[in-house]
Amino acid sequence: MALLTGTGLIVKIVLLILIGFSVISWAIIMFKLFQVHRANSESVRFMDFFWKSKRFDAIASQVDRFASSPLTVLFNEGYGELKKVVEGGGVSEGSALSTDLGGVENVSRALRRATNSEITRLEKYLTFLATTGSTSPFIGLFGTVWGIMTAFEGIGRTGSASLAVVAPGIAEALIATAIGLVAAIPAVMAYNHFQHKIRVLIKEMDNFSTEFLNIVQRNIAGK
């Protein structure tokens, strides 16, 4: 604290910026941990429920139990588009869906839109973590350079270059680099962790979309 309070105005501003980045980064990290964990756990539960159920309407009636899973969004969009095609005249007598009217393609497009929307939602705020990880060390370095310049200016004024004169100023300057690293390292680690988890969820969404379309196509072929 003595080092922090003993720095110059510019270094204090740099430190405040870095502390702000760190606080916001940790808030994002806590939020994303909760969001991604719930998305993963509820996706597992939803897939178990999906394969145990035999009818789409039965699944739709219970889908609110898995509200945090991105797979439920895909199911709602795909099932909603399927119903639109069926109710809009895409059904002939004895058939579940008419491919002539592009029914399967409509469902596929709805699933792709839902997937892109969920990817955007899951990746929200990660850009800030990446920005913090990449810029904080340089902001800290700027504070350090400025502090060292001030220290050398003081040496010039006093005319003394002894360790007792130089060391306090350099120590105050280096605190900016230290705080920059403290802000950057957790942000980079969290960013890489969440990117990995989100890639897993994206694969699950792709697999679910494929299975959903296969079910629709099998039903069409069986009619």
Stated length of the chain: 223
User: Domain range holding 204?
Assistant: 2-221
Would the pLDDT of 223 be above 60?
A: no
Label residue 115 by pLDDT band (50, 70, 90): very high
Q: How high does pLDDT run on average in the chain?
A: 84
Position 50 pLDDT exceeds 70: yes
25 to 76, 135, 171: CA distances (angstroms): 33, 13, 26
> Quick one: average pLDDT of 101-115?
82
Whole-model pTM: value is: 0.81
- Nearest Cα to Cα of residue 83 among 96, 74, 73, 94: 96
Residues 6+ positions from 216 with CB-CB distance below 8 Å: 82, 96, 97, 104, 107
The rounded distance, in Å, linking the Cα atoms of 155 and 178 is: 24
* Contacts of 215 by beta carbon, 8 Å cutoff, 6+ apart: none
Per-residue model confidence (pLDDT) at position 70: 93
**pLDDT tens, residue by residue, 137-173:** 999 999 888 888 877 777 777 666 666 666 766 777 7
As for how many domains the chain has, the answer is 1
- What number of other Cβ atoms are within 10 A of residue 212's Cβ? 22
Whether pLDDT at 98 is above 60: no
